[in-house]
Amino acid sequence: MTQAPSAPASATAFRPLPKAAAPGDYGISAKLPDATLIKWLRDMMLIREFENRCAQAYQQAKIGGFCHLYIGQEAAAVGTINSLNHDDPIVTAYRDHGHALARGMSADACMAEMYGKVTGCAKGKGGSMHMFDKPNWLFGGHGIVGAQTPLGTGLAFAARYEWEVMGKSVTGGPAKKKVALAYLGDGALNQGALHEAMNLAGLLDIPVIYIVENNGYSMGTAIERGTTMAHDLRKKAEAYGMEGAIIDGFDVMKLYDQFKPLVDRCRENQRPAFVDLKTYRYLGHSMSDPQKYRTKDEVDQYKNNDSIDRMASYLMNERKTNGKPTLSEADFHAMQAELKDICMKSLEFAENSPIPDASELYTDVLYNPQPNMSPMRDYTHGVKNPLL
Partner 1 sequence: MTTLSPAIPSDIAAEIANLHTLLEKPLPSREGSRVIQFREALREAMTEEMRRDKRIFLLGEEVAQYNGAYKVSQGMLDEFGPKRIIDSPISENGFAGLAVGAAMYGLRPIIEFMSWSFSLVAADQLLNNVPKMLYMSGGQWGCPVVFRGNDGAGGQLGSTHSWCVEGLYANVPGVKIVIPSNPYDAKGLLKTAILDPDPVFFLESERMLGDKAHVPEEEYYIPFGQAALRHEGTDCTIVSFGRPVNFCLEAAAELAAEGITVDVLDMRTIRPLDIDSILASVKKTGRIVVVDQCWPFASVASEVITQVCERGFDWLDHQPLRVNTEDVPTPYAKNLEAEYLPNKFKIVAAVKKSLGLA
- Closest to 327 in 3D by CA, of 42, 24, 16: 42
Please answer whether residues 60 and 29 qualify as being in contact, where contact means their C-beta atoms are separated by less than 8 angstroms. no
Site membership for partner 1, residue 116 (CB under 8 A): no
As a whole number of angstroms, the distance between CA 69 and CA 287 comes to: 8
Site membership for partner 1, residue 192 (CB under 8 A): yes
Site membership for partner 1, residue 152 (CB under 8 A): yes
Of 30, 147, 239, 316, the one binding partner 1 (CB under 8 A) is 147
As a whole number of angstroms, the distance between CA 138 and CA 87 comes to: 9
Sign of the dihedral defined by the CA atoms of residues 307, 309, 315, 319, in that order: negative
**Min CB(200)–partner 1 separation in Å:** 5
| Beta-carbon contacts of residue 366 (< 8 Å; ≥ 6 apart) | 373, 379
Of 31, 324, 377, 384, the one binding partner 1 (CB under 8 A) is 384
Sole window of 116-124, 254-262, 312-320, 326-334 interacting with partner 1 (rule: CB under 8 A): 116-124
Sole window of 189-197, 238-246, 322-330, 341-349 interacting with partner 1 (rule: CB under 8 A): 189-197
Of 72, 79, 116, 124, the one binding partner 1 (CB under 8 A) is 124
**Min CB(350)–partner 1 separation in Å:** 15
Distances (CA, A) of 219 to 205, 214, 216, 222: 33, 12, 9, 8
Site membership for partner 1, residue 367 (CB under 8 A): yes
Site membership for partner 1, residue 130 (CB under 8 A): yes
**Min CB(89)–partner 1 separation in Å:** 6
Site membership for partner 1, residue 171 (CB under 8 A): yes
Of 53, 97, 142, 285, the one binding partner 1 (CB under 8 A) is 142
Q: Provide the CA 281 distance to its chain's centre, in angstroms.
A: 13
- Closest to 98 in 3D by CA, of 84, 113, 81: 81
Site membership for partner 1, residue 380 (CB under 8 A): yes
Please report, as residue ranges, which positions from 53 to 92 form the binding site for partner 1 (by CB under 8 A): 89, 91
CA end-to-end distance (rounded Å), the chain: 50
As a whole number of angstroms, the distance between CA 188 and CA 212 comes to: 8
30, burial (CB in 10 Å: exposed 0-12, middle 13-18, buried 19+) = middle
Site membership for partner 1, residue 21 (CB under 8 A): no
Of 144, 334, 344, 355, the one binding partner 1 (CB under 8 A) is 144
Q: Provide the CA 73 distance to its chain's centre, in angstroms.
A: 9
Please answer whether residues 12 and 217 qualify as being in contact, where contact means their C-beta atoms are separated by less than 8 angstroms. no
Beta strands in the chain (DSSP E): 90-92, 138-141, 180-185, 208-214, 217-218, 221-222, 243-248, 273-278, 320-321, 324-325
Phi/psi for 184 (5° steps) reads: -150, 160
Residue 153 or 214 having the CB closest to partner 1: 153
Residue 177 or 225 having the CB closest to partner 1: 177
| Three-state secondary-structure class, residue 311 | helix
Site membership for partner 1, residue 161 (CB under 8 A): yes
Rounded to 10°, the helix 252-269/34-59 angle is 110
Site membership for partner 1, residue 159 (CB under 8 A): yes
Total site size for partner 1, rule CB under 8 A: 68
Of 50, 58, 139, 349, the one binding partner 1 (CB under 8 A) is 139
**Min CB(145)–partner 1 separation in Å:** 10
**Min CB(144)–partner 1 separation in Å:** 6
Q: How many residues does the chain have?
A: 388
Of 170, 334, 337, 355, the one binding partner 1 (CB under 8 A) is 170
Site membership for partner 1, residue 114 (CB under 8 A): no
Residue 106 or 385 having the CB closest to partner 1: 385
Residue 335 or 387 having the CB closest to partner 1: 387
Please report, as residue ranges, which positions from 203 to 222 form the binding site for partner 1 (by CB under 8 A): 203-204
Where along the sequence are the contacts to partner 1 (CB under 8 A)? 89, 91, 120-126, 130, 132-134, 139-140, 142-144, 147, 149-159, 161-162, 164-166, 170-171, 180, 192-193, 195-197, 199-200, 203-204, 363-375, 380-385, 387-388
